[in-house]
Structure 1
Amino acid sequence: MTQRTALAALLFVACSPAWEVPEVDTCGMEPRVAAHIREAHAAVENHPDDAGAWGLLAQLLDAHGEFESAFLIYARAHALDVGEFRWAYGLAFVGHELRRPLEELEELFATAAKSKGGHAPLYCRWGDARMNGGRFEEAELAYREALECDADLAAAQRGLGHVLSASGRAGEAVRHFQQAVARTPQDAAAWAGLARAYGKLGDGAQARRAAARADAGQALESMPDSYRDEVALFSISSASLLGRAEVALSLGNYQASAEHLEAVAETRPDDPWVWRNLALVLRRAGRAEEARRAVSRAIDLAPDFAFAHLELGKLDETAQRLGEAERSYRKVVALQPQGEEGWARLAATLFQGKRTQEALDLYREADRRIALGAGTLADWGAVCLEAGDVDGAIHHYERALKLDPQHPRAKQGLTRARAMR
C-alpha cells in the first residue's frame, strides 16, 4: 500500500461513524491541563459528528505537545470538514513534527494549501519537510512560494539559503542568508549557514565573522504564524502561563500578568517564586492587600527568600510603613549583601524617615562592599544635596553619568548642584 493510499485510508476510517474516540492518557499532566482535555474529550464523545469539537480537542493536545493523539484527532476533524484550513494545517504541522514519511507530508501540505492559499508559514514548513528529505529542488520551490506570500519571512530566507548552499549555489545562498540575518540578527542557524556559504566561496574572513555571530546567537524555535499562535493560546500549562505573564509584565499589563500567575499558583502552590512574582505584579496593579498576602505566602514557604523580603519592603515603603520596610530591607541586606537593590531601598527608606546621616553612612558602606549603579549613585547625590554637601552631590552625580550618560535624575541633579556651588 502506498503512503498516499495509507493516508486516504486513515481519513476514510476517521470519518466512519464506527470509529472510536482515541483514548488520551492524562496521567502525569498538570491537573488543570488534564481537566480541560477530559472535558474536550467528553465533548467529542457526546457529539461525534461535530468537526469543531474534534478540532478543539486536537488543538488542546497539539498545544501541550501530545502530537500522536493530536494527529488522529486532527484527521477526524479534517475528515468531517475537509474545507477547514485549521484542521488541514494542524494535521500537516503535527505530521511534520512526528516526522511522518515525506510522501504523506506532501499530501498533507498540499491539502492544507488547497484549503487556504497564501499562508507563508505553511509553504516554509513544507520547504523544511522537503529539505529534510533531501529534495532540494522541490524545497526551493516551496521556500520561494513562501517568500511570494511574505517577502519578510526570515525563516523562508534562511531555508532557501540552506538549499541553495547544499545545491552548490553558494553565491545565491549568501544573499538569502543576509536577508535572513537582517530580519532576525539573533538567528544562530542563519549565521552558521552564512559562514558555510562564505567558506564555499573561499572568503575566510567573512566566514569567520559570520561564525562568531553564530556562536553568539540563539536557536529560534518558531516563526511568525497566526494559526500556530492561535493553537498556542490553548496551552494552559504552568510553563506557558509563566511565559504569558512575563510578556504581559514587559508590556505593563499588570492585570493580565496577575491573572496568569494566579492560575500558575493553583498548579504550583508550593513555589515561592510564583508567589513572589504574583506579589510584584499585584503591587504594580495597585492591589496592595492581595500582594501582601501573596508575598507572605512566599515567605512562609521560604523564610530566607531575599527577593520576597524585598517585595514586602516595597509594599511597606509604598504604604509609608517605614519601620516595617526598614526591617525587611535589613533582612535583604543580611541575606544578600552583594545585591544592590536592598542597600538602595534601605538608604532611601532611612532618608524618607528624616534619618539623613544614617542614609549617607549606609551609602558609604554599600559603596565599600559592592559596585553601585547609576540610579543608586544619583540617589546618593540627591541625599548629599539635601544635606548641604554640594561637592559630594556633584561627585556622585558625575559618577552616575559615567555609567549612564543619559541618566535623567543624574543630569538634572548635576545641573542643580553646579548652580548651587
Structure 2
Amino acid sequence: MNFRVVSALICCGLALAQKKPVEEAWDLLAAGKREQAVRVLREITKVNANDADARLLLGSVLAEDGNRAESIPLLQDAVRLRPNSAEAHHALGEALHSFGERKASRAEFATAVKLDPGFGQAQADLGSALFDAGELAVAAEHLDRAIQIFGRSGDAAYPRYLRAKIYSERGENEKAAADLSQAVALRPDFAEAWSDLGQTCKLRMDDAGALAAFQRAVMLSPDDGVAQTRLGAEYLSQGKAHEAVPHLQEATRLNPENQTALYSLQSALRDDGRIAEAQEVKERLVELLRKRDRASENALRAIQLNNQGAALEKDGKLGEALEKYQSALALAPEHVGIRTNVAAALLRLGKWKEGIAELRESLRREPDNPALQTALKDALSKTPAKRE
C-alpha cells in the first residue's frame, strides 16, 4: 500500500470547485510547482481556520514530503471539520501508514469504509493493513470488495496480488495463480506480482511458466534481490548453472546476508566448474551462519541480563538494576522492552533527561504502542521544570 497524494487530491475535487484559492493550489501541483502550491495552501489555512479542503490537501502534500509534524495535525483538523467524510479519514489513514503508524492508520481506513462501503481504495488499504497484521480472513473480505469495485481497472492489480498471497497461505495455488495472472494482465509492469506468479507456477509444476515469470520480474525490477534469487534458483533447478550464476551474484550483491542466494550461488559455481569461487562463497556462508549464531547468543544473554535487572529492581537495588538493563540493551539495542526498562529505571533515579530520551526512542520504534505513549506523556508531565 503506497501513500499517494493524488488520492487526497482527487478526494477533495468536488469541494475544490467552489474554492478558487485551493483550486489554484491544485493547478500548481498539477504543473509540478509544489513549493508554490504549499505556500498558497499555508496562506489559506492561516486566513481560514475552517477550510477543510485546504487542510486536507496541504496535509496530504506535506505527508508525502515526509513532514509528520505538520501533516498529521492538518489532516486531523480536516477530519474534525468533516467527521463524516470517508475521503478525509482515508487521507489521514494513508499519512499515518506512511509514517509507520499501522494501528492508527487501520482505524482510519476502517472508518472510511464504514462511511462509504463503495470507496474502493479505502477497502483495498484496509485489506492491506489487515493482511500486514496477519488477520487474513477479514483482509480477504475487504480485498474481495475492492476487487469487485475496481473491476478491470489497474487499481485492482494490487488487491489481487494480496488476495493471491492469502490463497497461497491456504495452499489454494490454482486460485492464487488466477489472481496473479489477472494482476499482471491489469498491470504488466507489476514486478512483484510476476515474481509471485513464478513461485506459484513452480508449485504447480509449470517450470516453463515459472522461468518466464521470473525473467519478467527481473527485467522489470533488476534491483529486487528476491526476484534475482528466484530466477537464479530456477535456472539452477533446470540444470542451467551457468545462467544462474550472474543472477545469484547480483542477489548477494544486493543483500550480502541472503543465505538462500549464497547457498544457491555456491552450488551454481560448483556445477559450472568454478570450484575456487564456490569455495569462497562457502566460506562467506559459514561466516554468515556464525554471525547469526553470535546474534542469537547475544539475544539470549540480553534477556538473561534483563531478567537479572528486574530481580534487582524488585529487591530495591535500582542502581544495580539499571546497570543490568543497560548491559542488556548494549547487546540488543533493537529490543524495545529492554529499552523501556532502562527508561523506567532512569526516571525512578531522577535522571529525567536520559529517561525521557530512552522513552522517546522506544516510541519511535513502536509508534503505535499505547503504553509507551502514556508513559511518555506521564513522564513529561512529572518532569521538574528546571530539568525540562
TM-score (norm 2): 0.46
Which structure shows the bigger proportion of residues in helix conformation?
2
Give the greater-gyration-radius structure (CA): 1
